[in-house]
Amino acid sequence: MVKVLIVDDSAFMRNALTAMLSSDPEISIIGTARDGQEAVEKVALLRPDVVTMDVEMPRMDGITAVKHIMAATPTPVIMVSSLTVDGAKATLDALDSGAADFIPKNLSELSVNIVKIKEMLIDKVKQIGKQGAKRRAMRPAPAPGMAGRPVEPPKPLVVSRHTGQRRVTIVAIGTSTGGPRALQDVIPKLPKDFPVPVVIAQHMPPNFTKPFAERMNFLSQMTVKEAEDGELVQNGVVYIAPGRGHMRLTRRRGIETVISISEDRETFIYRPSVDALMSSVAEFFPGRALGVILTGMGNDGVKGLADMKKGGSRIFAQNEETCVVYGMPKAVVDAGLADKILAIEEVAGEIVNSV
């Protein structure tokens, strides 16, 4: 049973979220809170497995509440976010502060898709809650008087000098739930003179990918940008697939690699699709690409990475212990596609060692 605390200053939203989540027999609503301060107090008292957190609230906002919760009683938090550009920036701030993921706040405006939204909400709460509970069970209890998680010094980036012909000419990364934080543990560690392009499919709504790319660009030594249809792929640049469609690589005049963005739904469940990106990489860079699958729900990426593997490319997967949700990497590992299974802290170094 996944125990949930719902935090929102709107009675309508508290009731709507309670009704949706309570419909699943594996979820128990153990309490609600009307603002961030009450949320911090109830997390410490009730010890939920998951918290759904509004962003804007009186007394204490959601971002501040997340910071307090992560410092005192680390608990998976799912932000309930507006799908506007401003809402995206606030949500990214919350993810930086330790929140695990987000769901759209505009539930009342999405009545046509309410069944899909409900299924997504329930699935995220269950997956994130169970993974968080498992991680807490594996982690020893803190010493008396020591609140929160122990602070560990950052591990140095381990890079070995590769001599001879370059093995990898492009890096392709796929991720979903927990991906923004995971990518911040990888991309900013890549050097400014990284010699190949990096293409990323991160499941995100349309208004989120550009602010996310801008934030990553500010944090990184490499240039990071939201990909544009028809632009030439250049070495040393990170391209993040826009949330409005699916990103693929294609060839122009037979020699230039360019980006293609399709806004059709096609047959893919998730947008932007990891499978679509990876399959195109497999087609145009057979045996010369590195595929990386990070934290996320579901199995998006398995087919595309299988295509890459058939062509002779290598595949890395994030390990269970450092995933917010061990879904996408697990599917890749279970399919026998992973050449290496890595903690998130090791991923950047292994990428650099491969080019």
Domain CATH number, residue 229: 3.40.50.180
pLDDT of residue 292: 98
- DSSP H or E segment with residue 257: strand 256-262
The structure tokens 């046509």 sit at 112
Find the domain containing 93 and state its range.
2-137
Q: What was the pLDDT predicted at 270?
A: 77
The per-residue pLDDT for 161 is: 42
For residues 38 and 85, membership in a common domain is answered with: yes
pLDDT confidence tier of residue 114, bands split at 50, 70 and 90: low
CATH code (residue 85): 3.40.50.2300
Q: Buried b vs exposed e over 101-114: b needs ≥16 C-beta within 10 Å?
A: bbbbbebeeeeeee
Is 3 a residue whose pLDDT tops 80?
yes
- Average pLDDT in the 39-52 region? 96
**Region 234-258 average pLDDT:** 92
In the predicted structure, residue 204 carries a pLDDT above the cut 60: yes
pTM listed for this prediction: 0.87
Average pLDDT over the chain, rounded to whole? 87
Check pLDDT > 80 for residue 283: yes
What are 6's strand-pairing partners?
A: 32, 52
The residue annotated as part of the active site, out of 273, 300, 313, 354, is 300
Q: Is 47 within a domain?
A: yes
The three-point CA angle 213-216-217 to 5° equals 85
d(C-alpha 32, C-alpha 312), whole Å: 52
pLDDT score of 173: 98
> Across the beta sheet with 237-240, what order do the strands follow?
223-226, 237-240, 198-202, 170-175, 289-293, 314-318, 340-342
Query: Given 81, 203, 275, 307, which residue is catalytic?
Result: 203
CA 230 – CA 68 distance, rounded (Å)? 44
Answer yes or no: do 182 and 305 share one domain.
Answer: yes
pLDDT band at 130 (very low <50, low <70, confident <90, very high): confident
Could you give the C-alpha distances from 44 to 5, 143, 205, 215, in angstroms and in order? Answer: 11, 17, 32, 32
Instruction: Tell me: do 222 and 75 sit in the same domain.
Output: no
Residue with the larger pLDDT of the pair 118 and 72: 72
DSSP 205: -
pLDDT score, position 136: 53
What is the rounded average pLDDT of the residues 221-231? 97
* Mean pLDDT for the stretch of residues 130-140: 57
Counting the structural domains of the chain, the total is 2
> Is the pLDDT score of 163 beyond 80?
no
pLDDT band at 113 (very low <50, low <70, confident <90, very high): low
Could you tell me if 67 and 193 lie in one domain? no
Q: Is residue 157 part of a domain?
A: no
pLDDT at 261: 95
Catalytic residue among 81, 82, 97, 176: 176
Reply yes or no on whether the pLDDT at 115 is more than 90: no
For residue 218, give the amino acid letter: F
Q: How are beta strands 314-318 and 223-226 bridged, if at all?
A: unpaired
203 is catalytic: yes
Quote the pLDDT of residue 119.
85
Q: Is 300 a catalytic residue?
A: yes
Pairing of strands 50-54, 198-202: unpaired
Token code pair at residue 225: 């940008």
Distances from the Cα of 4 to the Cα of 34, 48, 72, 85, 262, angstroms:
14, 5, 18, 28, 38
Residue whose tokens read 């399709």: 262
Asked if the structure places residue 142 within a domain, the reply is no
Alpha-carbon span 200 to 19, nearest angstrom: 36
Yes or no: say if 14 and 6 are a contact pair by the CB < 8 Å rule.
yes
Q: Are residues 185 and 328 in the same domain?
A: yes
Is 41 a member of any domain? yes
Give the whole-number percent of the chain exceeding pLDDT 70: 86
